[in-house]
Amino acid sequence: MTRLRVLVTGGSGFIAGHCLRQLLDQGHLVRTTVRSPDREAAVRLVLAGVAPFDADALSFATADLTSDAGWAEAVAGVDVVLHVASPVQPGHVDDDDDLVVPAREGTLRVLRAARAAGVRRVVLTSAFHAVGWGHPHTDHVFTEDDWTVLDGPGVDAYGRSKTLAERAAWDFAAEGGPELVTLLPVAVMGPAMGEAVSGANHIVQSMLSGAFPALPNLFIPVVDVRDVAAAHLLAMTAPEAAGQRFLLSTGPALAMGDIGALLRARLGDAAAKVPTRTLPDFAVRLGARFSPRLRQAVPDLGYARRTSNDKARRLLGWHPGDPGDAIIAAAESLVHKGLVHS
């Protein structure tokens, strides 16, 4: 295996942390960005908590998506960039630009620095939110050929940020520069490496903490964060990946009630607060009159999006595991780390 020099943006993040761990395990030379040099010790501690690694194979650069400062140094001498960092806040926000601007402008900032440094390939972490929202509810199977309809129903600020950032990246790539690959994971769950609760692990945390009196009639397509990280590493080197989008999914979307039932079956007493009742749709609609968060959920009541991961399997050789394993790994790690609120 060729030892690559890889930059991972946002090293303290959920997906980025798993990418770092797998890159180090495979013997690559890795640099990661943090917004403050004070974060270096914490990131090293989190990674070492999973397993020992060669400390000299990991270095740090200070850079922020909202500023040009530090990015030239971050990409210097790098073969591949995994641009994972992006604001994550699904649901209602008061100002869409709080997510859209740093996502889009930050992506372009990283791509400009990569082009200037002669980086060979950039792998961008986009999201299924850039694919499957704003469409009519049909039996359509979503693939990489689909794009979220920005003025369609149910599109939140996070969906707009991921869609606009990825669109901007492809426009930039069309002008020449590094090869671009984009990855589009569905809801990401799996073992938390540090003390932060990120990605769709928030859903598991809320269920275990008793935050839901009953579970709404919503469906969540789940993928394991470890499989998402593995896809990033495959996308670094697969020749066929250049210029391609890849949807990362693992099968049918899961009803929230089924996720709750799985937690109760596998975690015993730790899942005692997971609700057993389903919240009627009319109650969600009634609550949506007063709650922006519930209002965002109304268009998706009873709708399970269908997805295909055929392209990632064919061109990347990607073989994801069971989404149930991701859910249980998330739950067990949250319980073990004391991140389930009483």
Residue whose C-alpha is closest to residue 246's, from 178, 306, 312, 180: 312
What is the predicted pLDDT for the residue at 93? 60
Residues of the chain with pLDDT under 70: 1, 87-95, 342
pLDDT in tens, 237-283: 999 999 999 999 998 999 999 999 999 999 999 999 999 999 999 99
Residue burial 316-329, b: 16+ Cβ < 10 Å; e: rest? bebebeebbbbbbb
Question: Which alpha helices (DSSP H) does 51-82 contain, by range?
Answer: 71-75
The pTM of this model reads 0.95
Cα gap 202→271, rounded to integer Å: 15
What is the predicted pLDDT for the residue at 94? 63
Q: From residue 187, how far is each of 13, 26, 77 by CA, in Å?
A: 15, 26, 33
Cα gap 36→274, rounded to integer Å: 37
Task: Kindly give, in sequence order, each residue whose CB lies less than 8 Å from that of residue 290, ignoring residues fewer than 6 positions away.
Answer: none
Cα gap 286→222, rounded to integer Å: 28
What is the predicted pLDDT for the residue at 194? 87
The interaxial angle of helices 323-336 and 256-267, nearest 10 deg, is 60
What is the predicted pLDDT for the residue at 157? 87
Q: Per the structure block, which two tokens stand in for 55?
A: 């400390």
Catalytically active residues are 162
The yes or no reply on domain 5-199+222-252+306-323 and CATH 3.40.50.300 is: no
105 close to 65: Cβ distance less than 8 angstroms: yes
Q: Per the structure block, which two tokens stand in for 258?
A: 């089924």
Give the start-end residues of each E strand in 9-125.
29-34, 58-62, 80-83, 121-125
Cα gap 10→62, rounded to integer Å: 10
Q: What is the DSSP annotation of 230-249?
A: HHHHHHHH-GGGTT-EEEE-
Residue whose C-alpha is closest to residue 202's, from 298, 293, 280: 293
